[in-house]
Amino acid sequence: MWAYCYCLYIKDKKEVRKYITTADFALDYCMHVKDRKEIYRIIKDSYHAYHYCRWIKDRSEVAKYITQTNLSLCYKEWKAKQ
């Protein structure tokens, strides 16, 4: 959490970003600071992958982690409307 907050409120530094290691803070970082490959690659669970694809950018390398049945269904319905 501290690394995400540091990047958001103080300065976005590469040496600090390496401490962002959980999907929830990776999603927040991509949403509020900058969408970076090194960060969105951390997102590997269904919930955060779904929200990343819906709110930030629909990327196949993240979408492949949307495996939870209800989220997968919602994602497919949303994708069909695009």
pLDDT per residue as tens digits for the range 34-45: 999 999 999 999
CB atoms within 10 A of CB 41: 11
Tell me the C-alpha distance between 63 and 58, whole Å: 7
**In terms of Cα–Cα distance, which of 13, 43, 19 is closest to 31?**
43
Tell me the C-alpha distance between 65 and 52, whole Å: 11
Q: Which two tokens stand for residue 42?
A: 């951390």
Angle between helices 46-55 and 23-32 (to 10 degrees): 10
Mean pLDDT of the chain: 97
Range of the domain at 63: 2-81
Number of domains within the chain: 1
Mean of pLDDT values over 10-29:
98
